């Protein structure tokens, strides 16, 4: 089959993704907001795909939010990252797999800087030695955890229990993909599909039966902006960015949003709630919100994992309309059950964005 036009362009941006033996570093945001996603990811990697994934408990934040909040100087961040590399080296691994897009972007930026300025790398090595007595090798392969799911999307598809298809119409679900700015905007060649025609999530969606929507503000930032969200006085910027995306995607009638970066799903989820609260406006069909997912959650859903094991009860915008569209078997009554106790009996009514 001849591949033409825009579909051919992303093929120029292929990247090498390691086959096995990954050193996993966690995401601060994903751990706090989407813990079920990291749990699901490791379950898929280890139990479904039978891959070797190692985590060193001594790893820390890369300082990414502090770095992009500009309180942490560049050399401090580089040295903390060098310590992450040292722990990887000491653990006997060389394929670094961060769970966070900000971290992934930062590791990419630092490796690029060291490539252009070897004296900076040498200085950082000395500083790390002075502070921790550690030495490191730079990673042989750097792939975000979504790159790895993309690599094995066909294997996941062969084991899938569900497809991203509307069970009532038989039509593919219409999916908005949101890549996250720091995945490829700085270094397009380091992301699958580059910055202009990102394919890392689109490849998963198409493989699992869905149809990706190409809408005008597809590349626009979700609005995190680090200090722009974290400081209350600046949050107007954050919600304005998300709103611009919602307005742009609405005419295309998306069934769901799939995200790459740990922060974006939180903003795209919560700002729908706020816009609804402030203006009474919703962006999905029938007065509902547009359910927002992490790529780990979507992979878990097609593999038939229980939605409440994935952590979908932590979303503010209700995910259940999408579960019903696909025809996923689940127990709505179990949503807020913890230790056998229903912790929020009335939640199913007031947590919906309507």
Partner 1 sequence: MPEIRNYHEMLMKDIRFEEGLKACMNCGVCTAICPAAEFYNYDPRQVVDTVQSGDNDEIEKLLKSETIWYCGECMSCKTRCPRGNAPGLVIMALRGLSQDLGFFVESEKGRQQLAMKRIVGQWILDRGYCLYLEGVGTSMHPEQGPVWDWIQANWKDLFKRLGANYQGEGPGILRKIPEEALDEIRKIFDVTGGTARFEKIEEASREKAMEMNLTLGEGIDNEYFRHIYKTNNNSHTRQK
Site for partner 1 in 257-276 (CB under 8 A): 270-271, 273-274
At closest approach, how far in Å is the CB of 335 from partner 1? 10
| Interaction between residue 304 and partner 1 (CB under 8 A) | no
User: For partner 1, which residue of 18, 44, 80, 202 counts as binding (CB under 8 A)?
Assistant: 80
Neighbours of 31 (CB within 10 A): 15
**Exposed e or buried b for every residue in 142-163, given b needs 16+ CB within 10 A?**
bbbbbbbbbbbbeebbeebebb
User: For partner 1, which residue of 92, 170, 232, 279 counts as binding (CB under 8 A)?
Assistant: 232
Strand intervals (E) in the chain: 22-25, 53-54, 95-98, 141-142, 174-178, 211-212, 256-259, 292-294, 337-338, 341-342
At closest approach, how far in Å is the CB of 292 from partner 1? 13
Site for partner 1 in 237-256 (CB under 8 A): 237, 239-241, 244
At closest approach, how far in Å is the CB of 71 from partner 1? 5
The answer to whether residues 198 and 179 touch, using CB atoms and an 8 Å cutoff, is yes
Site for partner 1 in 212-231 (CB under 8 A): 219-221, 223-228, 230-231
At closest approach, how far in Å is the CB of 142 from partner 1? 17
| Interaction between residue 188 and partner 1 (CB under 8 A) | yes
Site for partner 1 in 167-186 (CB under 8 A): 181-182, 184-186
Piece in contact with partner 1 (CB under 8 A), picked from 21-29, 156-164, 202-210, 285-293: 21-29
Query: Strands 141-142 and 53-54, how do they pair?
Result: unpaired
116 burial level (CB within 10 Å; 0-12, 13-18, 19+):
exposed
């Amino acid at each position: 089959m001849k591949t033409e036009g825009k579909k051919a362009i992303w093929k120029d941006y292929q990247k090498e993704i390691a086959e096995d033996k990954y050193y996993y570093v966690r995401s601060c945001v994903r751990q706090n907001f989407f813990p079920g996603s990291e749990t699901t990811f490791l379950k898929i990697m280890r139990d479904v795909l039978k891959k070797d994934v190692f985590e060193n408990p001594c790893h820390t934040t890369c300082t990414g939010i502090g770095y992009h909040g500009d309180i942490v100087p560049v050399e401090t961040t580089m040295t903390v990252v060098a310590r992450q590399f040292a722990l990887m080296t000491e653990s006997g691994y060389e394929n670094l797999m961060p769970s966070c897009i900000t971290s992934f972007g930062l590791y990419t930026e630092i490796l690029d800087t060291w490539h252009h300025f070897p004296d900076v790398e040498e200085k950082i090595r000395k500083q790390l030695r002075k502070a921790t007595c550690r030495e490191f090798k730079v990673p042989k392969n750097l792939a975000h955890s979504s790159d790895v799911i993309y690599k094995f999307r066909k294997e996941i598809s062969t084991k899938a229990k569900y497809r991203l298809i509307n069970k009532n119409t038989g039509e593919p679900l219409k999916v908005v993909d949101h890549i996250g700015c720091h995945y490829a905007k700085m270094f397009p060649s380091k992301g699958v599909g580059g910055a202009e025609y990102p394919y890392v999530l689109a490849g998963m969606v198409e493989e699992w039966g869905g149809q990706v929507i190409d809408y005008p503000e597809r590349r626009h930032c979700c609005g995190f902006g680090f200090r722009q969200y974290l400081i209350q006085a600046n949050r107007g910027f954050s919600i304005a960015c998300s709103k611009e995306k919602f307005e742009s995607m609405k005419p295309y009638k998306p069934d769901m949003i799939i995200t790459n970066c740990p922060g974006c799903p939180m903003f795209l989820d919560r700002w729908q709630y706020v816009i609804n609260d402030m203006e009474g406006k919703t962006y999905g069909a029938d007065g509902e919100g547009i359910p927002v997912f992490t790529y780990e959650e979507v992979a878990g859903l097609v593999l038939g994992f229980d939605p409440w094991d994935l952590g979908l009860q932590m979303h503010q915008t209700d995910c259940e309309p999408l579960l019903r569209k696909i025809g996923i078997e689940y127990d709505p009554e179990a949503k807020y059950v913890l230790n056998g106790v229903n912790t929020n009996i009335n939640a199913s009514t007031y947590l919906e964005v309507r």
